[in-house]
Amino acid sequence: MAERKWICDYDGNNLEPCDALSEACSTVALSKRKGVYIPTMSNRKTGEMRQPYAAIKTPVHPDGIIFGFCPFCGTKIYAPAGEQEKPDV
């Protein structure tokens, strides 16, 4: 049996979700679909594929809300462009 992945990995460009987040979501975000999803984006010039964040669509927020932290493991999984990590003091 394969070992479960308990913590998300996020490098600022790509999200590798923990198993709980992965099981709760889809990689396809359809316009009418509700729920948790991880979109796949591509750079048209380089063809590089990436999954930069996870989000949820609800009837109240049909455009979606981006998660700042994984709701399952608590790992920071999104940082707006230009945001820098602050050192722990």
Counting the structural domains of the chain, the total is 1
Average pLDDT over every residue of 53-58: 86
Q: Which residue has the tokens 């009837």?
A: 59
Whole-number percent of the chain with pLDDT over 70: 79
Q: Can you give the residue range of the structural domain that contains 30?
A: 9-66
Give the DSSP letter of residue 11. -
The pLDDT confidence band at residue 54, using thresholds 50, 70 and 90, is confident
Check if the beta carbon of residue 57 is closer than 8 Å to that of residue 33: yes
Q: What is the pTM of this model?
A: 0.71
pLDDT of residue 30: 57
- Asked if residue 83 has pLDDT above 70, the reply is no
Question: pLDDT at residue 36 above 80?
Answer: yes
Residue 22 maps to a domain:
yes
Residue 9's H or E segment, with its range, is strand 9-10
Strand-pairing partners, residue 69, are 76
Report if residue 58 sits inside a domain.
yes
Instruction: Compute the average pLDDT of residues 45-73.
Output: 86
